[in-house]
A and B are shown apart, each in its own frame.
Chain A
Amino acid sequence: MTQLSQHNAPIAEALTKYKAMRVVPFDVPGHKRGRGNEELAAFLGEQCLSVDVNSMKPLDNLIHPVSVIREAEQLAAEAFGSKHAFFMVNGTTSAVQAMVMTACKAGEKIILPRNVHRSAINALILSGAIPVYVNPGVQQELGIPLGMALDDVRRTMEENPDAKAILINNPTYYGICSNLQAITDLAHEYGMLVLVDEAHGTHFYFNEELPASAMSVGADMAAVSMHKSGGSLTQSSFLLINNDVSEGYTRQIINLTQTTSGSYLLLSSLDISRKNLALHGKEIFDKVIGMAQYTREEINQIGGYYAYSKELLNGDTIFDFDITKLSVHTREIGLEGIEIYDILRDEYDIQIEFGDIGNLLAYISVGDRHRDIERLVAALGEIKRRYGKESGQMFQHEYINPIVELTPQQAFYSEKRNMPLAESAGHISSEFVMSYPPGIPILAPGERITEEVLGYIEYCREKGCFLSGTEDSQVKRINVVKESER
């Protein structure tokens, strides 16, 4: 076998070769290279459907890779500096779940900040692991949850030396990083695994101007959303492992829930994107950093908006900041982020990543053009001119400290009672309530519902946030744990 390098994309190359062989397909998928579904082929393109194929010997098998997928995994591992890389086709959600379930069995503890993505808490429902929350700091002026303070992490580990792992966001949705190196070292002293949610951190691996990546500090596992800053297709992702984490056991855990018909569109997109980042990542992200920096300066010149960056660093809860992130605090112009998010889309045909209470996030990537950036800046200026008002009666606290009464699994599967959300204060929630995006739960299963939480939910609703998580699609009713159960 010839030596492979980062110039190769083994899965994509195998697909090209397979296509050239003009093999007659008597296997699935039934659209047979698109011939059986003309409308779909016209819509997605014939080339696309011609490589939507099934696992087979020349193309390997995602469940148990031995040839081209394995080679592609090895190249990805090399590019990211990990021991092994798994190709994930069920979103970074599945990568986060695989990390949690690899590290903890039912009844075992995992330390995590409360501002994790719902996928992490979902993993706790599936696995029965017990969450031990570390409260992230809150930046009071901006109202955003931050990273974990090292002292809080140390205290939590002292109090829970039996915990199996710690989960860390690197970075948060807003671009904020904890002290990843110090937390990793500390966890290893306690014999805990370090799991890192890098859903927003793919680019950290390819540019030195950016915060440290999980693998670079010796963390044990990382879930990396290649489809965000990495350029692959939506739903494709990498799970990286390092140190003593077993490749075989991790594969078994992944196979518990991952599809047995892994999409070759997603797999080849991961392969080609990894090659692109390995070869051109530095200049790609230099360009993105430049655009984000320019946009930040222009937005700050409008006045009223605050596009924040590294000046926030405090050596602890904001240990580092991802300067490709364009996070903007909006309250000084008297509008919530979610309100600006809606105005941008409805009136200016500009879609940004998210708006929440107090902040908005515009996602800048290699696909952006300067003239589009000018549109965003101009539109923000116009929104201030046309809609800006005195910042006054706005909700003050973004982060609400949860009161955890039961594990997510116990609460989710307990006997429950459905009641109006508005009257549920004092009960234990059996389900999630979240505002999407960013998809960080306001209320998670097992947490005591308080008036403060209900007030926050109603404020989000009033401001136009998209609420979800409850069985009731309107999020007007909630399932609570039957008290007699306890």
Chain B
Amino acid sequence: MNLWYTENHSPNVLFSIRVDEHLYSGKSEFQKIDILQTPEFGRILTLDGLVMVTEKDEFIYHDMITHVAMATNPKIKKVLVIGAGDGGTVRELTKYASLEQIDMVEIDEMVVDVCKEYLPQTASKLDDPRVNLYFEDGLKFVRNKEDEYDLIIVDSTDPFGPGEGLFTKEFYGNCYKALKEDGILVNQHESPFYEEDRLGMQRAHQRIVGFFPVCKVYQVHIPTYPSGHWLFGFASKKYDPVKDLDADAWNALGLQTKYYNTDIHVGSFALPNYVKEQLKDVE
């Protein structure tokens, strides 16, 4: 049998992965959810036909969306995670004994249920006692919070579909309000490479810049995302992710990570010129 999963990385570029088995297909109130078994990437979660995580490369995304902020401010106690239904972000956060509370708000309960069943690699820590799960609209959840969190991680889908509201000015403004005076916001920041992703990336940056005194972008390499070149946003009321990094303190924790280290932490903030220009254009 010759079965392939194919996704448009741009209107003119296709990306295909050979599939062994279509393990699950369902439709929630919000989106279509599929789990595929593949020879190259292991199990894959797709939402509305777009790859969200694969067992083979999810470590890159989840390391980098969590450890950069945690290493910048080791005093973080209370974290809000928005989206992240696959559980990988929470899994990384639970490695920190110092964390007291992790609130996770995912709009689609079905994604969590499916991941618990089919992707234990990422969903395994969702029942950690420090984790509170809320199944509701992230925008709604955060608008009722004030001066409450040390860190907010926006682990969202793309800026169309259910994740749309998480790329808006009202959302970032509400995050600012929900953060403490030294709070940090880390967000999935799309990609600079293909046109459509670039527009989403620039819009996100433009809307965050207005609120936070420190507003940086860092890059990672994720093979299954369009172009592989992906960005995260780091916005903060106080800490600079490079100047305030205490590498020795983080290394002393002795955490096991597969992608993140304190060298790549610093290096990931070094951006190519074309990305710098795109960011400058909207600042």
Contact = CB atoms under 8 A, between A and B. Distances in A.
A385 B168 contact: no
Main secondary structure of the interface of B (DSSP, over half): helix
B165 interface: yes
Interface string A365-382: 000001100110111011
A375 B173 contact: no
B128 interface: no
Contacts of A378: 139-140, 143, 165, 168, 170-171, 173-174
Contact of B137 (A348, A371, A382, A385): A371
A348 B162 contact: no
B143 A381 contact: yes
Interface of B: 137, 139-140, 143, 162, 164-165, 168-171, 173-174, 177
A189 interface: no
A382 B178 CA distance: 12
A348 B139 CA distance: 14
A347 interface: yes
Nearest to B174: A378
Contacts, number: 44
Nearest to A347: B169
Given A374-B137, A374-B140, A379 B170 contact: yes
| Nearest 5 A/B pairs, CB to CB | A378-B170, A379-B170, A382-B173, A374-B139, A378-B143
Of B137, B169, B170, B171, chain A has the most CB atoms within 10 Å of the CB of B170
Contacts of B168: 348-349, 375, 378-379
B169 A371 contact: no
Given A379-B170, A385-B173, 18 more contacts: A349-B169, A370-B137, A371-B137, A371-B162, A371-B165, A374-B165, A375-B139, A375-B165, A375-B170, A377-B140, A378-B139, A378-B165, A378-B168, A381-B170, A381-B174, A382-B173, A382-B174, A386-B173
A370 B140 CA distance: 11
Given A370-B137, A371-B137, A374-B137, A382 B169 contact: yes
Interface in A156-207: none
Contacts of B140: 374, 377-378
A63 to B, nearest CB: 46
Interface of A: 347-349, 370-371, 374-375, 377-379, 381-382, 385-386
28 contacts: A347-B169, A348-B168, A348-B170, A349-B168, A349-B169, A370-B137, A371-B137, A371-B165, A374-B137, A374-B165, A375-B139, A375-B165, A375-B168, A378-B139, A378-B140, A378-B143, A378-B168, A378-B170, A378-B171, A378-B174, A379-B170, A381-B143, A381-B170, A382-B169, A382-B170, A382-B173, A385-B173, A386-B173
A231 to B, nearest CB: 23
A371 B168 CA distance: 12
B203 to A, nearest CB: 9
Given A370-B137, A377-B143, A348 B169 contact: yes
Nearest to B30: A371
A385 B177 contact: yes
Contacts of A347: 169
Contacts of B137: 370-371, 374
Contacts of B139: 371, 374-375, 378
A369 to B, nearest CB: 9
A381 B176 CA distance: 13
Of A371, A375, A385, chain B has the most CB atoms within 10 Å of the CB of A371
Contacts of B171: 378
Contacts of B143: 377-378, 381
Nearest to B203: A349
Contacts of A377: 140, 143
B164 A371 contact: yes
A348 B206 CA distance: 12
Nearest to B141: A374
A386 B177 CA distance: 10
B200 to A, nearest CB: 13
A482 B52 CA distance: 73
A201 B177 CA distance: 40
Nearest to A370: B137
A375 B140 CA distance: 8
Nearest to B172: A382
Contacts of B174: 378, 381-382
Contacts of B164: 371
A201 B169 CA distance: 34
Nearest to A378: B170
Nearest to A344: B170
Contacts of B162: 371
A295 to B, nearest CB: 12
B180 to A, nearest CB: 16
A104 to B, nearest CB: 49
Nearest to B107: A371
Contacts of A349: 168-169
B179 to A, nearest CB: 13
Contacts of B173: 378, 382, 385-386
A228 to B, nearest CB: 26
A375 B139 CA distance: 7
A385 B146 CA distance: 11
A378 B140 CA distance: 7
Contacts of A348: 168-170
A382 B177 CA distance: 9
A362 to B, nearest CB: 14
B169 to A, nearest CB: 5
Contacts of B169: 347-349, 379, 382
A348 B174 CA distance: 13
A228 B80 CA distance: 41
B103 to A, nearest CB: 18
A306 to B, nearest CB: 18
A370 B164 CA distance: 12
A113 to B, nearest CB: 37
B212 to A, nearest CB: 14
A374 B162 CA distance: 12
